[in-house]
A and B are shown apart, each in its own frame.
Chain A
């Protein structure tokens, strides 16, 4: 969790949003998490196979007390390219956020141009 939090903070930092209120900061974190969620979900949905889920389920059945994330880790470690899938999803999330940030910067710049300061 620590790394993913750092990743989100990295996104916020790279978006160059200036000083944020605590509320806005948390709202943004939430929104970014959702972006990441969506990317991960899309990526995994298009990658996971029945065989992967079988690994997952086997792990759960063999380790009924273990948390689900352990089963997920087992599933992913069973197929290394899934790790790349996750990385790809994070990368896409980052790029997407930067793309939107750039679009906003540009819109603001255009607004500045249209209405120059007195």
Chain B
């Protein structure tokens, strides 16, 4: 095995790319702002040649909201959230939607942004732009020019890298072909555009302190607003103060402390742990090992001293880089000792880490010297015998594709170097094409490099001025494979599959399955592959399937929830619970538990995909007949469902989606379509929400919704907001929310005639629409109350609440409420009135609830999640 190159920048993105490229392992260079920039970089390497605006940091945007610079942010792409982790995705989205629903199309989360950005850019005027300094030259690639901030230098290197990857033989501007020159000019002409979208008061703690000052100064100069100077200084002072720990940090630290095994977490991005878990497939693609209880959330950078990170100081737990972990594994095997013992052997590496880290902090040191340190680190790694099976990386890449639903086409455009594209091919060739299995890795590599890169990629793309979509080229002129006609066919078939829009591994497997459907071995292999892909759901195996087939299981509705009931009448909330109880494949269950323990989502609370499928089998003989004989369809649905594990914000959302998926299928919907739509929706971030009338007569004949008549498929939530300009509109929107959207979001979909679909007609998660429309509603309501002037927040809050609840009885309004008893009386009056109206004879529910322990427990739970609570009690 060869030692791979060390990548620079983009953290998890690089990890993913490296895995796809078949590299041994990846090391991300944790530069400030890399997440968002990396994501946008991915967008840039897509099919678009005009780049306008990049907002490097949501935090900056967020902080600048409401300032005079707001308008600058129109038509932009947002990615990720700020490094302090305080800004929740949906908070930003909500704020933006409220701010200007027309102008903003919000794309959140770093990995998702890359795909969503492309989607947005297609058919819209949203562009992305790269920041770069015109003094940059390729020959100075490792020298940070004087006056550069780290961030500028990072962007510079990204551009350089792009040019290098795509126009490797060019030594000067003149050597670049037209496309390269165009890119270069584009970059030159947009010097440091991020400065124009920042405010001197922005939170800039994603770059180091010294550079912050420089940047603020530059910002002030650029903006030309002297009066902002004082504020900027004040902002600088504030940023020096300690940022309070967010709930995520508290939760993470708690998690790490309780964890029986060491955990590896990206030091630069620990606060986005939940986010990281959701996209774990990608992040763990760097050839890491979750099987043994390790959670590697990122592959930290070259020379990063993790022990220096404040989070880990707090936990007191030693953490290692992805590469170091591998070293530990290898050494552990060699000496047969514990990880701790292995660690002792690795002290030189740790020391080197510290050296490099200290070195990084010394501003007078030269960047090139740091590179030397990195080289030494690499050498040291070699000396210790780092070997990582490439096959692991490929499998990890497959898992990444499956979980993340990154389309191969997207990956093609994501690819910023030939190795990545080649790696993707390898993934498919090696794992899914039996015929090409005979080709050794070196052959594929050399072929890909020689033919795909030099001939296809370089010359033809340049000549045609087409995007660097390698696969288009591959399809049009498939590379020759010289080991026989069959291989030719297989490889070109693979390419064709790719070109036809392979949206996931499941499609690839589908195509392969069709090809090999008469070949038992191929089917068996495919099944094995899928089992690998579904390593998260170890409950599902033949033995278990057989066991349960012989068990009399009924699926019953228990309130709003489905439960499984065995022959003895025992109820189980999930298939997993049932198998555990029945002691079926206890080993598998224990492994599953071990795996689930490594996830943030509490899998014990999740409805497993297996359960969903089984529910379909059990409850619907027709569907069972459709599904069971065609095992692969079930697998596809399961794989899609598995992806939701990573996508869902929490267990409740996940379970809701699972339930609706099952319900949708039960109503005759196509499982795959539904599951796919869920996943697509998760990727889209829910911003491309569209209406369609399931039964048009209901919605359209309702006079109140007349303004929403023309909201049809492809209408966006932003368009919805344009319909809410008057009080009447707002009230009608409220009616629409309460009568249709909320029932959908809360799961009682039978009660509404409204269906939400995406452009492809897939079923849409309405919870996102609910959030968005409520945001629109409250914006309109507040604007009504506020008028044009500034208002007192508490007062207007009370007004809004009164209006919103439509509940302002004369006996309470305007009266100072002094005691809980008064409140209770007022509530009881209203409750009584409500009961009289609704005929509800429930026994004083609200009054009882407030006194019930259950509500206290619920409140305590929420407080814990929000980072609040009774600290006095803890002191005891």
A contact residues vs B (CB 8 Å cutoff): 1-4, 6-7, 10, 13-15, 17-18, 20, 23-24, 26-35, 37-38, 40-41, 44-49, 51-53, 56-57, 60, 67-73, 76-77, 79, 81-84, 86-91, 94-96, 98-116
Q: Is the CB of B860 within 8 A of A107?
A: no
What is the distance, in angstroms, from A10's C-beta to the closest C-beta of chain B?
A: 4
Q: Which residue of A lies closest to B858 (CB)?
A: A86
Pick 24 A–B contacts, CB within 8 A, sort by A.
A6-B859, A7-B863, A14-B866, A20-B794, A24-B795, A26-B817, A33-B823, A38-B805, A41-B846, A68-B847, A69-B850, A76-B854, A81-B560, A81-B561, A86-B858, A87-B858, A88-B652, A103-B782, A103-B800, A104-B791, A104-B797, A110-B66, A113-B70, A115-B790
Q: Bound complex: CA of A70 vs CA of B620, how far in Å? A: 40
What is the distance, in angstroms, from B780's C-beta to the closest C-beta of chain A?
A: 9
Q: Among B66, B802, B805, B853, point to the contact of A106 (Cβ < 8 A).
A: B66
Known: A23-B816, A113-B66. A37 touches B846 (CB 8 A): yes
Q: Bound complex: CA of A30 vs CA of B802, how far in Å? A: 11
What is the distance, in angstroms, from B733's C-beta to the closest C-beta of chain A?
A: 14
Q: Does B336 contact A (CB under 8 A)?
A: no
Q: Bound complex: CA of A106 vs CA of B789, how far in Å? A: 12
Q: Is the CB of B869 within 8 A of A6?
A: yes
The residues of A that contact B65 with a CB separation of less than 8 Å are 106, 109
Q: Bound complex: CA of A36 vs CA of B748, how far in Å? A: 21
Contacts A28-B794, A38-B807, A52-B559 aside, 20 further interface pairs with beta carbons under 8 A come to A3-B856, A3-B859, A3-B870, A7-B859, A10-B868, A27-B798, A31-B797, A40-B846, A68-B847, A72-B845, A72-B849, A99-B778, A100-B804, A101-B793, A103-B779, A104-B797, A106-B66, A107-B786, A111-B789, A113-B67
Q: Is the CB of A68 within 8 A of B858?
A: no
Q: Does B498 contact A (CB under 8 A)?
A: no
Stretch from B90-98, B215-223, B510-518, B722-730 that touches the partner: B90-98
10 nearest A-B residue pairs (beta carbon): A109-B66, A86-B858, A69-B851, A3-B859, A10-B868, A103-B782, A7-B859, A107-B786, A69-B852, A3-B856
The residues of A that contact B869 with a CB separation of less than 8 Å are 6
Q: Bound complex: CA of A31 vs CA of B860, how far in Å? A: 20
Q: Is the CB of B818 within 8 A of A26?
A: yes
Q: Among B95, B796, B846, point to the contact of A102 (Cβ < 8 A).
A: B95
The residues of A that contact B560 with a CB separation of less than 8 Å are 46-47, 81
What is the distance, in angstroms, from A12's C-beta to the closest C-beta of chain B?
A: 9
Q: Which residue of A lies closest to B780 (CB)?
A: A103
Q: Bound complex: CA of A49 vs CA of B860, how far in Å? A: 26
Q: Among B748, B782, B798, point to the contact of A107 (Cβ < 8 A).
A: B782
Known: A73-B854, A106-B65. A99 touches B862 (CB 8 A): no
Q: Is the CB of A47 within 8 A of B559?
A: yes
What is the distance, in angstroms, from B101's C-beta to the closest C-beta of chain A?
A: 12
Which residues of B (761-785) have their CB < 8 Å from a CB of A?
771, 774-775, 778-779, 781-783
Q: Bound complex: CA of A117 vs CA of B634, how far in Å? A: 63
The residues of A that contact B823 with a CB separation of less than 8 Å are 30, 33
Q: Does B437 contact A (CB under 8 A)?
A: no
Q: Among A15, A53, A67, point to the contact of B797 (Cβ < 8 A).
A: A15
Q: Is the CB of B862 within 8 A of A105?
A: no
Q: Is the CB of A69 within 8 A of B853?
A: yes
The residues of B that contact A23 with a CB separation of less than 8 Å are 816
Q: Is the CB of A41 within 8 A of B845?
A: yes
Q: Is the CB of A100 within 8 A of B778?
A: yes
The residues of B that contact A1 with a CB separation of less than 8 Å are 850-851, 856
Q: Bound complex: CA of A104 vs CA of B784, how far in Å? A: 11
The residues of A that contact B840 with a CB separation of less than 8 Å are 45
Q: Bound complex: CA of A96 vs CA of B802, how far in Å? A: 14
Known: A3-B859, A46-B748, A72-B852. A10 touches B866 (CB 8 A): yes
Q: Bound complex: CA of A23 vs CA of B812, how far in Å? A: 13
Q: Is the CB of A112 within 8 A of B801?
A: no
Q: Bound complex: CA of A116 vs CA of B559, how far in Å? A: 55
Q: Please classify the interface of chain A as helix (H, G, I), strand (E, B), loop, or mixed, using the class held by over half of its residues.
A: helix
The residues of A that contact B544 with a CB separation of less than 8 Å are none
B contact residues vs A (CB 8 Å cutoff): 65-68, 70, 91, 94-95, 98-99, 558-561, 652, 746, 748, 771, 774-775, 778-779, 781-783, 786, 788-791, 793-798, 800-802, 804-805, 807, 812, 816-818, 823, 826-827, 840, 842-863, 865-866, 868-870
The residues of A that contact B862 with a CB separation of less than 8 Å are 7, 87, 90-91, 94
Known: A52-B559, A73-B854, A108-B786. A27 touches B817 (CB 8 A): yes
Q: Bound complex: CA of A10 vs CA of B860, how far in Å? A: 11
The residues of B that contact A114 with a CB separation of less than 8 Å are 788
Q: Is the CB of B843 within 8 A of A68?
A: yes
Q: Is the CB of B852 within 8 A of A103?
A: no
The residues of A that contact B800 with a CB separation of less than 8 Å are 100, 103-104
The residues of A that contact B817 with a CB separation of less than 8 Å are 26-27, 29-30
The residues of B that contact A112 with a CB separation of less than 8 Å are 66, 790
Q: Bound complex: CA of A62 vs CA of B94, how far in Å? A: 49
Q: Bound complex: CA of A41 vs CA of B94, how far in Å? A: 25
The residues of A that contact B788 with a CB separation of less than 8 Å are 111, 114
The residues of B that contact A7 with a CB separation of less than 8 Å are 859, 862-863, 868
Q: Bound complex: CA of A14 vs CA of B851, how far in Å? A: 24
What is the distance, in angstroms, from A81's C-beta to the closest C-beta of chain B?
A: 6
Known: A6-B870, A34-B827, A90-B859. A98 touches B91 (CB 8 A): yes
Q: Is the CB of A73 within 8 A of B66?
A: no
Q: Which residue of A lies closest to B743 (CB)?
A: A46
Q: Bound complex: CA of A110 vs CA of B71, how far in Å? A: 12
Q: Which residue of A lies closest to B804 (CB)?
A: A100
Known: A37-B827, A113-B70. A105 touches B856 (CB 8 A): no
Q: Is the CB of B854 within 8 A of A82?
A: yes
Q: Among B67, B797, B818, B846, point to the contact of A28 (Cβ < 8 A).
A: B797
Q: Bound complex: CA of A113 vs CA of B99, how far in Å? A: 13
Q: Bound complex: CA of A111 vs CA of B790, how far in Å? A: 5
Q: Bound complex: CA of A4 vs CA of B818, how far in Å? A: 17
Q: Is the CB of B805 within 8 A of A17?
A: no
The residues of B that contact A105 with a CB separation of less than 8 Å are 66, 793
What is the distance, in angstroms, from A118's C-beta to the closest C-beta of chain B?
A: 12
Q: Bound complex: CA of A106 vs CA of B793, how far in Å? A: 11
Q: Bound complex: CA of A15 vs CA of B793, how far in Å? A: 9
Q: Which residue of B lies closest to A102 (CB)?
A: B95
The residues of A that contact B67 with a CB separation of less than 8 Å are 109, 113
Q: Is the CB of A99 within 8 A of B559?
A: no
What is the distance, in angstroms, from B845's C-beta to the closest C-beta of chain A?
A: 6
Q: Which residue of B lies closest to A70 (CB)?
A: B852
Q: Bound complex: CA of A91 vs CA of B863, how far in Å? A: 9
Q: Is the CB of B797 within 8 A of A6?
A: no
What is the distance, in angstroms, from B509's C-beta to the closest C-beta of chain A?
A: 36
Q: Which residue of B lies closest to A111 (CB)?
A: B790
The residues of A that contact B790 with a CB separation of less than 8 Å are 108, 111-112, 115
Q: Is the CB of B98 within 8 A of A17?
A: no
Q: Is the CB of B845 within 8 A of A18?
A: no
Q: Is the CB of B848 within 8 A of A72?
A: yes
What is the distance, in angstroms, from B813's C-beta to the closest C-beta of chain A?
A: 10
Q: Is the CB of B798 within 8 A of A31?
A: yes
Q: Which residue of B lies closest to A91 (CB)?
A: B862
What is the distance, in angstroms, from B85's C-beta to the closest C-beta of chain A?
A: 16
Q: Is the CB of A3 within 8 A of B866?
A: no
The residues of A that contact B771 with a CB separation of less than 8 Å are 95
Q: Is the CB of B798 within 8 A of A68?
A: no
Q: Bound complex: CA of A98 vs CA of B70, how far in Å? A: 21
Known: A40-B846, A69-B848, A107-B783. A3 touches B801 (CB 8 A): no
Q: Bound complex: CA of A95 vs CA of B858, how far in Å? A: 15
Q: Is the CB of A31 within 8 A of B98?
A: no
The residues of A that contact B855 with a CB separation of less than 8 Å are 3-4, 40, 86, 90
Q: Is the CB of A26 within 8 A of B816?
A: yes
What is the distance, in angstroms, from B226's C-beta to the closest C-beta of chain A?
A: 15
The residues of A that contact B826 with a CB separation of less than 8 Å are 30
The residues of B that contact A37 with a CB separation of less than 8 Å are 827, 846, 850
Q: Is the CB of A31 within 8 A of B801?
A: yes
The residues of A that contact B859 with a CB separation of less than 8 Å are 3-4, 6-7, 90
